[in-house]
A and B are shown apart, each in its own frame.
Chain A
Amino acid sequence: MKKKLVIIGNGMVPGRMLERLYEQAPDLYDVTIFNAEPRVNYDRIMLSPVLSGEKTYEEIIIHGDGWYVDRNITLYKGHKVTQIDRKAKTVSTNTGETVSYDKLVIATGSDPFIIPVPGHDLPGVLSYRDLDDVEAMLLAAKSCGKAVVIGGGLLGLEAAAGLKEQGMDVSVVHLMPTLMERQLDEAAGHLLQRELEGRGIKVHTSSNTKQIVGEGKVEGLELEDGTILPASLVVMAVGIRPNAQVAKEAELDVGRGILVDGRMVTSDPDVYSLGECAEVGGQVYGIVAPLYETAKIAADHLAGVPCEAFKHTETATKLKVTGIDLYSLGDFGQGDDREEIVLRDAQAGIYKRLVIKDNKIIGVVLYGETSDGAWFNNMLKKGEDISDMRETLIFGQAYQGGAPLDPTAAVAALPDDAEICGCNGVCKSTIVDAIKDKNLSTLDDVRAHTKASASCGTCTGLVEQLMAVTLGDSYNPAAITPMCACTDLGHDDVRRLIKAKELKTIPDLMQALEWKTSCGCAKCRPALNYYMVCDWPDEYADDYQSRFINERVHANIQKDGTYSVVPRMWGGMTSSKELRAIADVVDKFDIPAVKCTGGQRIDMLGIKKEDLPAVWADLGEAGFVSGQAYAKGLRTVKTCVGTDWCRFGTQDSTGLGIKLEKFMWGSWTPAKLKLAVSGCPRNCAEATCKDIGIICVDSGYEIHFAGAAGLDIKGTEILGNVSTEEEVMEHVVALAQMYREQGRYLERIYKWAKRIGLDEIRSQIMDNAEMRKAYYERFVFSQKFAQVDPWNERVSGKDKHEFKPMADLKLEPAE
């Protein structure tokens, strides 16, 4: 007979407790959950990204309905427990259910604190606590009116930034002189205020709310000094208080929260409490890391597994507003027995402060650049003596002991017990062991198995670096958010700044954007070179030393260091003359392998680098140009025979394919771009798994895009229908240019489309003729500089040095 476990509340903490309990003792309890919210368990920390529109509710669900079904858990959604009868060991709800328990867990969380000023109960006054609040705010934001957020703490600022993202005119009213004063010192508070003001959020510090005004709904907010701030929405985010009501009524011991011992047991040995409603060791917690710790302890205790009692540890605070990096930890008040180390770079918006006592770090404030947070946190926790590295300490881990300036190496050097994920208390060795033991290769896998970076996500970069260190070759670095170790900027920021600051050379860019390395690395240089080529086609001089070898020598490097060569065959059409020329080249240069490619071309493999110019010279004489089979650029346009030959063909698919290829060849794109044109819906050219595909129909042409048939398999999406070849050209070229301008280097078109949104792309290319024409014109302009056959250039002597050894010591001994 299983014991009955009843849980009041279905937030993140009891959710975590159940996960742990099912790991430790899967068959011990029958579980019943009462959730006052009509939902499953979702990640409340991620409400801010939902508000700002960066995530959807579905993306932040922790346990979907299936999770409860799989475990036979009875989940009452939208049922509020109104009474606990401890004698009878039952709970009753507002809907009339009564359920008995052997063990009860109270996880009722907290309620937002509502300041009892006049007008606080007007419609349009919201708190910021759950998904209902977020949905109400999103609805209010549709009006694009004015909003006031009361409270300049973590939640208030996230709400303000989110509402601003949604197009509202936002003011923040804060009682204290600086923002986030509990987490930030004055200087960082000012930097933060300046950043928010720069985004158009008005900040009123040292301001007290007198009343909320309005007739029947919110119309504004009056401050103590008489200032009136007009607003159609007021969000109160001034704090929370533990929701201990139901426990109090059941006569459990209650202080500020429900009193529990170090094992989360209340004054009744069969009743536990955890989460924001519980008070342990005199503390009530509101951040997830210590709460998850309480979940683990309660689960172990319920499972009858030995565990240590709860101990308080310092927890770092991070602000989840995109583009603002902020980290604070520990004690940063001033005092005679303390020293501090401060680094400021106003230009770059960086402020770092370490508070030191007895040669140990006791407080950390990082603003603008937070990558060393985990490292400082580790030293603080261990109480490490920092006297030896005092002079360079503030510069971070990468500057200690002459270690290279490489964050990946810095992560590799972290001790095994260094904490990587603060929210979930996951240390380095846990992640590394999971990656190795369970063969994890994606970030999602690591999140699923270890929980690292699964809550607020600010440690994602660290986890990815750990994956890179652990997995080596098999990890795909393109997935990392910062462009590379040389910068903290992501690709989108870099692309934006290239245009905004008119950065027209790679050295200029590295100077202006404060690259951390002197001349970049093999990840950022090719990306930057592409962005420059794309954005400044007439002004930028292509930097061949920043191109991957294939694009530098216009052939594909093979595993033995030889190359393969693929000449262009327009639309996949060839002739006896061309085939004869290829046969002659193969014989003359003793080329070991010849193969047909998937893009309807002929590939000659195993050519020695020194022979390349001569091979190209012969191919060039037969009329061939480079097939650019090596390029992050237009590759092939595959076609079927269409109306020329096929009894089903509806249009001249071959002719259209050749037209497209002749128009678009030579263009560089973020990743390779493969096209196909099929003459009828039978689709013999396989156009529906291409980057861009055309399906000819009787009435015209169906334009497809964003397909994939490589690492991922994905059918295309339909861009729209057009009726003439000219329209096909204009739409396809405009789409390619939009992708060229917005794509991240190495991001295939289907990934770009997923990120940007199909509707957005359709509205710009199909519905907005003006934008489409502008994209088209920019592509045409860029082609003026791009359509030069690279093979012919090299046959004529360009980059001669690439193909000849500098010296041959055995042939010509030095004089």
Chain B
Amino acid sequence: MNAMTENWIAIGKLDDIPLRGSRCVKNGDMTIALFRTAEDQVFALEDKCPHKNGPLSQGIVHDGCVTCPLHNWVISLSSGTAQGADEGSTMTFPIKIEDGDILLSLDGNKA
């Protein structure tokens, strides 16, 4: 999926994001949240919970998911979909890491 994307934008270094933490990237009106998991994987989601638009970047990152700070929905970082019984999904963006540089593509996908 990522291989199809041509327009990669360098947005910073892996170490700019705290381990099991998140940083934001502004893109006009949209905020994209970048997450770094315990295993150093990086994922990008629109910073909006499918439930009530809570800022996912402010949530707790655990096991490939983030828990929204507003009402504790758990969103998969890889697919953007709500876990458990909740239904909904958030836009995901392709990421690749080259020599510690994080590259983001703005070709968002929605599950």
A residues within 8 Å of B by Cβ?
404, 406, 408-409, 412, 468-470, 472-473, 477, 517-522, 525-526, 544-546, 548-550, 552-553, 557, 559, 561, 801, 805-811, 813-815
Chain A residues with Cβ below 8 Å from B16 are 801, 806
Q: Which residues of B contact A (CB under 8 A)?
A: 9-12, 16-21, 23-28, 31, 34, 38-39, 52-55, 58-63, 65, 67, 69-72, 74, 83-86, 106
* List of B residues within 8 angstroms of A550 by Cβ: 69
Instruction: Report the minimum CB–CB distance from A505 to chain B (whole Å).
Output: 13
Given contacts A404-B83, A548-B69, A561-B54, contact A806 B17 (CB under 8 A): yes
Establish whether residues B58 and A806, one from each chain, have CB atoms under 8 Å apart when the complex forms.
no
Which of A473, A553, A559, A809 is most buried by chain B, counting CB atoms within 10 A of its CB?
A809
Write out the residue numbers on chain A whose beta carbons fall within 8 Å of the beta carbon of B106: 809
Beyond A553-B58, A815-B10, 9 additional pairs, beta carbon < 8 A: A409-B83, A409-B85, A519-B20, A546-B20, A557-B58, A805-B25, A806-B24, A809-B11, A811-B26
Could you pull out 12 A-B pairs where Cβ atoms are within 8 angstroms?
A408-B85, A521-B62, A522-B60, A522-B67, A550-B69, A557-B69, A801-B17, A805-B24, A808-B26, A814-B9, A814-B11, A815-B10
Q: Which A residues are CB-close (under 8 A) to B52?
A: 559
Query: With A and B bound together, what is the CA distance between A526 and B67 in angstroms?
Result: 12
- Assess the A810–B26 pair: CB atoms within 8 A: yes
Q: Decide: A557 and B60 in contact? CB cutoff 8 A.
A: no
B101 nearest CB across to chain A (Å): 10
CB proximity of B20 to chain A, nearest CB, Å: 4
- Chain B residue contacts of A412, Cβ below 8 A: 84-85
**Residue contact A522 to B25, C-beta cutoff 8 Å:** no
| B74 and A809 contact, CB distance less than 8 A | no
In the complex, are the beta carbons of B83 and A549 less than 8 A apart? no
- A542 CB to nearest chain B CB (Å): 13
Q: How far is the CB of A751 from chain B (nearest CB, A)?
A: 20
Give min CB distance, A491 to chain B, whole Å: 18
Residues of chain A with a CB closer than 8 A to B18's CB:
544-545, 801
How far apart sit A557 and B54, CA to CA, in the bound complex (Å)?
A: 10
Q: Is the CB of A473 within 8 A of B58?
A: no
Q: CB distance B62 to A520 under 8 Å?
A: yes
CB of B26 within 8 A of CB of A469, answer no
Cα–Cα, bound, A378→B20 (Å)? 38
How far in angstroms is the closest Cβ of chain B from A529?
10
Known: A409-B84, A473-B71. A526 touches B26 (CB 8 A): no
Contact of A545 with B61 at beta-carbon distance under 8 Å, contacts A409-B84, A557-B69, A807-B11 already known: yes
- Please determine whether A557 and B25 come into contact, CB atoms closer than 8 angstroms: no
B23 vs chain A, min Cβ distance (A): 4
Q: Name the distance in Å between A80's Cβ and chain B's nearest Cβ.
A: 52
List the A residue with the shortest CB-CB distance to B9.
Answer: A814
B83 adjacent to A809 (CB under 8 Å) = no
B63 neighbours in A (Cβ, 8 Å): 517-521
Residue of A nearest to B71 (CB): A473
Say whether, besides A517-B63, A545-B18, A546-B60, A807 and B83 are in contact (CB < 8 Å): no
A568 CB → nearest B CB, Å: 24
CB distance from A537 to the nearest CB of B (A): 23
Which of A473, A517, A519, A809 contacts B27 (CB under 8 A)? A809
